[in-house]
């Protein structure tokens, strides 16, 4: 009798296991991690910032954009945070969004509640932009970076008037609004001379931020277009020349062969940002893969 009951239980267990097996085609989202809108935006900003940093290191050159108030100099000095989240000391870094620009500081490893960055940022401030959105993240090795604090910061009027401001701004977070600590920023705005349209000499500058003309990985990125009637690089003479494509499909295929696991949209965006220069594009993609 005992043997019969044991055999019956074993058969029942085997039947239950078979009932749990999925038969047929797997669903499209099988083993795929789903993210909410906030997580998607954070991941998109992180990806954009990595590409922008690669472009900064590659020395991307571009004409001075139109419709700007001036050149904003921003130094992210340090922060005093309310709490150390996690078992070990935090490794904080800062991500800042100003207009269409996304900038990151280096990571302050073991910075814990008192990280110091002393990161200097220079960018052109468009007319109508008078604030920034700032986030502090704790860098993680095996999981998604943890957002510690954030703040909407209005650029002081004295900065827009030409003064240099060194201030501490409150941070919000899990502790509550403006209760997560403080961050120290130094800001100043300098005037920039716009080049004349009739100039025959291209005026270039070292641009810290690149604007992409198409979405990257499904995250739309706003574009700052060249003003109507003004070429990206002034032409010699009075007759406009037809614009050649930045790169050919053969150029794209050669780069794609070197980075088969890289998404097509990313490769095309970096190619366009580098005006079809394959060597600079390859260096930028290598730096992205090494990060």
**Architecture of the domain made up of 69-190:** Sandwich (2.60)
Say what the pLDDT of residue 267 is: 82
Q: Which residues of the chain have pLDDT under 50?
A: 58-62, 197-241
Say what the pLDDT of residue 106 is: 93
Per-residue H/E/C for 249-267: HHHHHHHHHHCCCCCHHHH
User: Do 117 and 186 touch, CB atoms closer than 8 A?
Assistant: no
Query: What is the residue extent of each domain of the chain?
Result: 33-62+207-230+246-291, 69-190
What lies within 8 Å, CB to CB, of 136 at 6+ separation is 79, 81, 92, 93, 94, 95, 115, 147, 148, 149, 150, 171, 183
Q: Decide: helix, strand or coil at residue 174.
A: coil
69-190 and 33-62+207-230+246-291 share a CATH fold: no
Class of domain 33-62+207-230+246-291: mainly alpha
Strand boundaries in the chain, DSSP class E: 61-63, 68-81, 92-98, 101-104, 116-126, 131-138, 146-154, 165-173, 176-190, 204-206
Q: Give the integer Cα–Cα distance in Å for 147 and 92.
A: 9
Say what the pLDDT of residue 281 is: 79
- What are the tens digits of pLDDT across the range 228-244? 444 444 444 444 445 55
Say what the pLDDT of residue 177 is: 93
Q: Give the integer Cα–Cα distance in Å for 117 and 112.
A: 12
Say what the pLDDT of residue 234 is: 41
Widest pairwise Cα distance in the chain: 103
Positive or negative torsion for Cα 62, 68, 70, 71: negative
- Other Cβ atoms less than 10 A from the Cβ of 75: the count is 17
- Other Cβ atoms less than 10 A from the Cβ of 80: the count is 13
Say what the pLDDT of residue 269 is: 79
Say what the pLDDT of residue 223 is: 40
User: Do 77 and 218 touch, CB atoms closer than 8 A?
Assistant: no
Say what the pLDDT of residue 83 is: 93
Q: Give the integer Cα–Cα distance in Å for 256 and 268.
A: 9
């Amino acid at each position: 009798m005992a043997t019969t009951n044991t055999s019956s239980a074993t058969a029942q267990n085997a039947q239950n296991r078979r009932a749990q097996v999925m038969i047929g085609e797997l669903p499209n989202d099988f083993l795929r991690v789903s993210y909410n809108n906030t997580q998607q935006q954070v991941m998109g900003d992180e990806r954009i910032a990595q590409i922008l940093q690669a472009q900064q290191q590659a020395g991307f050159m571009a004409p001075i954009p139109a419709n700007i108030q001036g050149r904003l100099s921003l130094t992210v000095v340090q922060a005093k945070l309310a709490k150390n989240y996690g078992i070990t000391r935090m490794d904080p870094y800062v991500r800042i969004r100003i207009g269409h620009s996304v900038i990151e500081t280096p990571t302050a490893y073991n910075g814990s509640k008192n990280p110091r960055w002393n990161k200097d940022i220079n960018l052109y401030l468009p007319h109508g932009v008078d604030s920034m959105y700032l986030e502090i993240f704790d860098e993680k090795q095996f999981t998604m970076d943890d957002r510690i604090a954030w703040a909407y910061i209005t650029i002081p009027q004295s900065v827009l008037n030409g003064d240099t401001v060194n201030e501490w701004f409150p941070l919000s977070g899990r502790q509550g609004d403006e209760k997560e600590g403080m961050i120290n920023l130094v800001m100043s705005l300098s005037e920039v001379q716009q080049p004349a349209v009739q100039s025959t000499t291209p005026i270039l500058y070292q641009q810290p931020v690149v604007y992409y003309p198409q979405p990257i990985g499904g995250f739309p990125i706003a574009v700052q277009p060249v003003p109507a009637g003004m070429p990206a690089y002034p032409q010699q003479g009075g007759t406009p020349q037809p614009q050649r494509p930045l790169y050919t499909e053969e150029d794209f295929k050669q780069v794609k062969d070197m980075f088969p696991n890289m998404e097509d949209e990313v490769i095309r965006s970096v190619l366009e940002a580098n005006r079809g220069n394959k060597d600079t594009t390859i260096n930028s993609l290598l730096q992205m893969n090494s990060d």
